């Protein structure tokens, strides 16, 4: 059985007169890394809120169908305790600072305090998570006085420290510069190595192609397709749905149209470059 399963889910926000997601059937396997892609307004954030249980609890509105998580409907979980099972991180770094604590250390510990963990264990966990997220030197700073990138890493640490099984991450780098983006993806890569289930909304297709396992494509609230990333990202027809595709795919497609097809389904530059040099004598070197 799938770890998370959406069964014919249709959801309409309050005041809206058409659904943001309609008739979505989706299976998510444990320990896999899913990227959710699609144009603006295709329902990506709605999907995140649904899986995290904020829909319908927080957003109200009309929900048809069912979300199953680890064997039972999401609605049967105590919503207050869902935080320990499903981690949630989103794009705005500033709004992910709770305001409850005045140092980075205490901010990260806040969730564990709510969890009721003994203080010695809290210290241990916070110290270790600050190492993995590279913010140990910010320990005593006020979280409100950090840069956006630092705040985002504090947000990751604050959720990571709760050790949930699933991470729902909604466009974590859209307000960050390339350097901070790289740092955030290093953290996400670390989560994957820990065997966590990850659902990530991301617009930067090169990052999607490089880091994730599976891709979920949404368009206008409907599930277009889902599957292994090479299989999905090489479908050039997705461009018609307003989906962006990685550079390597576009390059392969251009070459194909010029009558010089590339073998296989390369989706990253490091995958396409050797193929290029082998097949058409392209002088590029492996990145």
Partner 1 sequence: MPGHNVIANLYPLTKFYMAVVLMAVSFMLPGIASKLICFLFINALAAASGVWSVFIRRELETVGVLFLILFVIQTLFYPDARRILFTFWIFSVKYEGIMFALNLGLMLLCAGGSLIWFFAVTKQKDFVLSLEKAGMSPKASYVVLSTLQIVPVLRRKSKTIMNAQRARGVETEGGVLTRAKVFLPTMIPLVLSSIAGTEERALTLEARGFSSSRTPTHLEDIKATPADKVAVILITVAFVALIAGRMALWLI
Partner 2 sequence: MKKANKRSKLSLMVLLLIPVAIAINIVGGQLTSVLKLPLDMDTIGVILVGALVGPIPAAITGVLTNLINGIFDPTLIPYAICAFFIGLAAGLLAKYNMMTKVWKLIVSGIVLGLVGTITATPITVFFFGGASGGGASMIAAGLMATGQKILTSVLSVYIVTESAGKILSVFIAWLIVKAIPARSLIKYPFGDKYIKKKVAKTIGQGPSQDSAADAPASAGLPSSED
Binding site for partner 2 (CB under 8 A): 13-18, 20, 40-46, 57-60, 75, 79-80, 91-95, 99, 147-148, 151, 220-221
Nearer to partner 2, 80 or 116 (CB): 80
Q: Output the smallest distance, CB 89 to partner 2, in A.
A: 14
Among partner 2, partner 1, none, what binds residue 118 when CB lies within 5 to 8 Å by partner kind? partner 1
Query: Is residue 200 a contact partner of residue 169, using CB atoms and an 8 Å limit?
Result: yes
List residues binding partner 1 (CB under 8 A): 52, 54, 58, 78-81, 83-84, 87-90, 92, 94-102, 106, 109-119, 122-123, 142, 144, 155, 158-159, 162
Q: Output the smallest distance, CB 187 to partner 1, in A.
A: 16
Among partner 2, partner 1, none, what binds residue 84 when CB lies within 5 to 8 Å by partner kind? partner 1
Q: Output the smallest distance, CB 31 to partner 2, in A.
A: 27
Q: Output the smallest distance, CB 40 to partner 2, in A.
A: 5
Among partner 2, partner 1, none, what binds residue 60 when CB lies within 5 to 8 Å by partner kind? partner 2
Among partner 2, partner 1, none, what binds residue 123 when CB lies within 5 to 8 Å by partner kind? partner 1
Phi-psi region of 251 (alpha: psi -120 to 50; beta: other; left: phi over 0): alpha
Nearer to partner 1, 81 or 237 (CB): 81
Among partner 1, partner 2, none, what binds residue 134 when CB lies within 5 to 8 Å by partner kind? none
**Which ranges of the chain does DSSP label H, i.e. alpha helix?**
44-52, 54-57, 104-115, 119-132, 148-160, 178-193, 205-211, 229-233, 247-257, 269-279
Query: Is residue 262 a contact partner of residue 256, using CB atoms and an 8 Å limit?
Result: yes
Nearer to partner 1, 163 or 206 (CB): 163
In sequence order, the β-bridge partners of residue 57 are none
CA 34/CA 214 separation, integer angstroms: 5
Helix (H, G, I), strand (E, B) or coil at 96: helix
Nearer to partner 2, 14 or 71 (CB): 14
- What are the structure tokens assigned to 147, written together? 């840069």
Helix (H, G, I), strand (E, B) or coil at 194: coil
- What are the structure tokens assigned to 214, written together? 């599976």
Q: What does the DSSP assignment read for 218-253?
A: EETTEEEEEEEHHHHHT-GGGGGGT----HHHHHHH
Among partner 2, partner 1, none, what binds residue 110 when CB lies within 5 to 8 Å by partner kind? partner 1
């Amino acid at each position: 059985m799938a770890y998370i399963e959406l069964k014919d889910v249709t959801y309409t926000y309050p005041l809206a007169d058409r659904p943001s997601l309609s008739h979505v059937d989706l299976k998510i396997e444990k320990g896999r890394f899913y990227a959710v892609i699609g144009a603006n307004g295709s329902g990506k954030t709605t999907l995140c809120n649904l899986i995290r249980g904020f829909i319908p609890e927080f957003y109200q509105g009309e929900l048809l169908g069912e979300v199953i998580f680890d064997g039972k409907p999401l609605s049967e979980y105590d919503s207050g305790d869902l935080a320990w099972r499903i981690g949630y991180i989103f794009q705005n770094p500033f709004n992910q600072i709770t305001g409850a604590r005045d140092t980075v250390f205490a901010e990260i510990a806040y969730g564990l305090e709510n969890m009721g963990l003994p203080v010695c264990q809290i210290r241990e966990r916070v110290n270790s998570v600050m190492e993995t997220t590279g913010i140990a030197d910010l320990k005593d700073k006020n979280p409100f006085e950090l840069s956006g990138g630092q705040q985002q890493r504090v947000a990751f640490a604050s959720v990571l420290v709760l050790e949930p099984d699933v991470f729902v991450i909604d466009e974590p780098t859209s307000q960050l510069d390339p350097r901070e983006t790289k740092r955030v993806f290093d953290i996400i890569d670390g989560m994957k190595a820990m065997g966590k289930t990850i659902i990530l909304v991301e617009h930067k297709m090169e990052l999607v192609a490089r880091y994730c396992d599976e891709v979920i494509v949404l368009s206008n609230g409907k599930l277009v397709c889902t599957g292994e990333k090479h299989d999905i990202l090489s479908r050039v027809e997705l461009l018609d749905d307003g989906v962006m595709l990685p550079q390597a795919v576009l390059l392969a497609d251009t070459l194909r149209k010029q009558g010089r097809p590339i073998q296989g389904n390369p989706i990253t530059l490091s995958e396409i470059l050797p193929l290029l040099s082998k097949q058409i004598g392209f002088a590029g070197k492996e990145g």
